[in-house]
Amino acid sequence: MGSLTLLRHVESTWSVEHRFTGASDVPITPDGADAALALAPMIAALRIDTAYVSGLLRARQTLDIVLRELERSDLPVIVEPRLNERAFGTLEGMEKGAAEERFGKQALSRWRSSFVEAPPDGESLQETASRTQPVVFENLLPAVQRGENVLVVAHGDSLKTIIMMLEELSPETVLSLKLQPGEFVFYVVSENGSIERRLSPPVSVSSD
């Protein structure tokens, strides 16, 4: 029986500064590095065969710290840019209070709570799903169904689109799902060959 673990990267510098991060490439914080170390025993217990990681630094640093702690330099790692976080366009790098002053609370709420609407020069969640979907159906699911244990280290919104596909969630339902930095969702193959969630992350108000 194979498994699929979806892990959100640990705390990043712009998250601490309350800035929109999106597709911008920022590092993790020292506290984030400590959190990544704490994840190592959980990852070890999963007996991972292959890891997929987004092309962004905060995800790669999270995975690198875990693998160094576990002395797993031998683990196959696929860097997959299609797993990168949803792009927030003009909002990226802006402090969230300043963004609200510039664009208005209503517009920000609409961009962040809509499946189809995107911020200026950014991506909608629907567009993000269109690039993560091939990774799910061409790479992740076939590997799990072959009996492999696969780890994916990515981002809040990109992981939401994967969860949406695996669990066949509606756009309205997936919009309410939030993953904390360093939290994960774990799936296994059921007896009938479908994917079942076994562990659920707590709900939070945190977002990339």
Q: How many residues does the chain have?
A: 208
Cα–Cα–Cα angle for 192, 198, 204, rounded to 5 degrees: 140
Q: Where are the alpha helices (DSSP H) in 50-124?
A: 57-70, 96-103, 105-113
Backbone angles phi, psi at 4, to 5 degrees: -135, 120
C-alpha distance from residue 40 to each of 45, 61, 65, 208 (Å): 9, 13, 8, 23
Q: Indicate if 127 belongs to the active site.
A: no
The tokens for 191 are 């007896």
Q: Which of 85, 92, 123, 183 is catalytic?
A: 85
State both tokens at 85: 């976080």
Known catalytic residue at 85: yes
Within 10 A of 182 (CB to CB), how many other CB atoms are there? Answer: 19
- Which entry of 9, 80, 123, 155 is annotated as an active-site residue? 9
Task: List the catalytic residues.
Answer: 9, 85
